[in-house]
Amino acid sequence: FESQARSEDLRDVRGLMFVHIPLPEILLYWNAYGEDPHLVVGERDESVACSSANTGLFAAALGLNVSGIFHGHNHNNDFLARVESNSRTIHVGYGRKSGYGGYGGG
């Protein structure tokens, strides 16, 4: 996949990633910058339950032309962080839920 993504034909194509469990980096980023309205918008209404294993997916996304990583899992969170790394910007955040509740209630 990585060799195809780096090919000349796909060089300028931007990618989006959708995963269910948040990557560990979003918890680190929230803890460092969660109160900075220039870098994070939205609300954290419950703890970030991210993966306990760092698989390197975030680093791989930075190395490719991925401009956003979106996840779910924590139904009461609704925030988006602008992460800048090595002159690249990637947006990481929760997909907005719809309806009432989100954990089987109401």
Is residue 85 pLDDT above 90, yes or no?
no
Q: Where are the domains of the chain?
A: 14-94
More confidently predicted of 96 and 84: 84
Residue 11 pLDDT: 65
> Collapsing DSSP states into helix, strand and coil, what is residue 40?
strand
Please name the residues in contact with 82: beta carbons below 8 A apart, sequence gap of 6 or more.
38, 39, 40, 89, 91
Token pair 């009461």 is at which residue? Answer: 76
Q: Is the dihedral of CA 59, 29, 67, 51 positive or negative?
A: positive
pLDDT band for 55, please (50, 70, 90 cuts): very high
Residue 103 pLDDT: 63
Residue 10 pLDDT: 63
DSSP code at position 87: T
pTM for the whole thing? 0.77
